Amino acid sequence: MSDPSALLDALHRYTLHESPTGDRRALAAFAEVLDADAARAGFDTARVSHPSGDHLVWTLPARGVPGDPVLLLTHYDTVWPVGTLSGMPWTVDGDTVRGPGVYDTKAGIVALLAAAARVERQEAPHPEVRVLVVADEEIGSPTATGLVRAEAARARAVLGLEPPHPGGDLKTGRRGSTRVRVEVAGVEAHAALDPDAGTNAIDELVDQLVRVRALVEGRPVLLNTGIIAGGGRTNVVAGEAHSDLGLRFTDPGDEDAVLTGLRSLRPVRERARLSTRLLSHRPTWRPDEAGAHLLDRIVGIAEGLGQTVAGRPADGAADTNTTGALGRPTIDGLAPPGGGAHARQEWVSVAGIGARVDLLAALVIGLHTAAPSHRGGTGRDS
């Protein structure tokens, strides 16, 4: 059984290290703390450097169990800028802990490291454990996706340490999530003296966004136009404009059709230049047999601990989109239960942290030998 005060102390330290995506200095300071704690838990630590934030790679060497590693995915960036603590402070009220990033997903890192430390103390046989702690997950892991793919290629199973469903259930699939930028270059000119010499990039962009709407019409696709920017003066024909789009997919066929259509957009105006580029791309992860088998094994191990868990697909995206879409056995949502992700009321359960430590330690030790449970599809909503 884990010491709740030690878990709370670790989470408190991590929360005080505010770590917004893209803040190189803040991420580097937190990474030093995490690497030191990982080393104390028994991991070999390494980094993949990147100007916007290093990705952390931890390895718990195998003890008596040969073969492919178990891969755990998590992240140490948050959506909260430095200074958020002043208006959203760390608080503990009974079983509820509040603060920026406690639920998404610093409590997950706390549970992971405590579980690994327990496994090492017990000296129980286990396969190699690889942990990838991503620095830019909250913006779609644009610099980490290749690393996620490479690590997943040799993993026997992938466990995601994103927050679970409300109540603690696990995640067996995810919507595809893609961010696309549509960019237009026009021709500047005086808007009154010589308007015909110009080509308005904003007007072109508006027409292109109408075309984008037509691409998704009739499909179960979520399209959010998140940013529109361009031009600069009302007396100058706009010479540039762009829009950032967020797309969510439930079906790989719709995903392929819409993304192909975006790449095929052509200018309406003769002198306009148009380009589209992916800012980030997480493919649709649909529940599959490999994931269902892994979920059954996790459910059986949890039952042995007196815990009840189930699983179903989720709407949000994460790095497990990539591993699940590759066909690797993948389950997500193994961080502690709580709520309010990306919201001012973000919170996590103290008891839930301890329960996840127990489950993660049992999975590291027992997942490679656990027999699947057959209960008519428990937890496999689709």
* Structural domains in the chain (count): 2
129 and 206 in a single domain? The answer is: no
Half-sphere exposure for 107 (CA within 13 Å, toward CB): 34
* Residue 156 structure tokens: 């026997």
159 and 185 in a single domain? The answer is: no
49 and 162 in a single domain? The answer is: yes
**pLDDT tens digit sequence for 87-123:** 999 999 999 999 999 999 999 999 999 999 999 999 9
Q: What is the pLDDT of residue 2?
A: 77
Whichever domain contains 10, its CATH number is: 3.40.630.10
d(CA 90, CA 107): 13
d(CA 255, CA 177): 9
Domain-terminating residue out of 227, 252, 282: 282
In a domain, 85, yes or no: yes
d(CA 144, CA 80): 20
- Residue 231 burial class via C-beta count within 10 angstroms: exposed 0-12, middle 13-18, buried 19 and up: middle
Predicted model pTM: 0.90
109 and 166 in a single domain? The answer is: yes
Print the domain residue range for 292: 4-174+285-366
328 and 345 in a single domain? The answer is: yes
65 and 119 in a single domain? The answer is: yes
8 and 125 in a single domain? The answer is: yes
165 and 125 in a single domain? The answer is: yes
d(CA 23, CA 63): 37
Q: What is the pLDDT of residue 1?
A: 66
In a domain, 373, yes or no: no
In a domain, 372, yes or no: no
Q: What is the pLDDT of residue 368?
A: 79
165 and 180 in a single domain? The answer is: no
357 and 208 in a single domain? The answer is: no
43 and 149 in a single domain? The answer is: yes
Domain-terminating residue out of 228, 254, 282: 282
253 and 291 in a single domain? The answer is: no
Print pLDDT tens along the chain (382 aa). Answer: 678 999 999 999 999 999 999 999 999 999 999 999 999 999 999 999 999 999 999 999 999 999 999 999 999 999 999 999 999 999 999 999 999 999 999 999 999 999 999 999 999 999 999 999 999 999 999 999 999 999 999 999 999 999 999 999 999 999 999 999 999 999 999 999 999 999 999 999 999 999 999 999 999 999 999 999 999 999 999 999 999 999 999 999 999 999 999 999 999 999 999 999 999 999 999 999 999 999 999 999 999 999 999 999 999 999 999 999 999 999 999 999 999 999 999 999 999 999 999 999 999 999 876 544 433 333 323 2
Whichever domain contains 209, its CATH number is: 3.30.70.360
Q: What is the pLDDT of residue 373?
A: 40
